[in-house]
Amino acid sequence: MAKRGRPRKPAEDHHANGTYRPGKHGPLPNAADPSDSPPAKPRGLASAVAAKWDAISPPLAHLLRPYHGGLLLELCRWLVRADELDAALAGYSRVDKEYVNLLSAASTATANLLALSQRFGLSPADRAKIKIVLPAGGAAAAKPKVSTRPRTKLDGAPPIHD
């Protein structure tokens, strides 16, 4: 089985670092479409789910697109379920049979939350895997190239042939 090297750096990163070359890195993708705004909060949500939506959507606004609405809604619902399970667990002793059942449900909720949170890059490792598209007008300024050595009079001289 062949070993895989490091993943290629996206052309946008090369452009932001000032190392972009069209012949080597290919064309830059088009700027973000202004219609790619965060999804609108659905109507008729339970108050706890709506509160989670309001708390989560602003920090993720740069990642969210209209098609993320369903996924974000499920993340909010599982967050509310996890909070409810945590509150319910506090009311039981560890030896109660109901405590074990609730603990199993809490484990399922945690697994679902982890899977959903990975989609939005809520941990540093997951964030590194997400390609962030900057909104139009908010493009990052290109970094200047770093010179490796001072230029000399030989830099412009013709090549020496034998």
Where residue 108 falls (left for φ over 0; alpha for ψ -120 to 50; beta otherwise) is alpha
| Nearest alpha-carbon partner for 28 in 126, 146, 147, 139 | 139
CA distance 115 to 122: 10
* Sequence-ordered list of residues with C-beta below 8 angstroms from that of 42, at least 6 positions apart, any chain: 69, 73
* pLDDT band of 102, cuts 50, 70, 90: very high
Give the pLDDT mean for 105-124: 88
Q: Enter the pTM of the model.
A: 0.59
Please give the mean pLDDT across all residues of the chain: 80
Give the pLDDT mean for 64-80: 89
Give the pLDDT mean for 67-72: 88
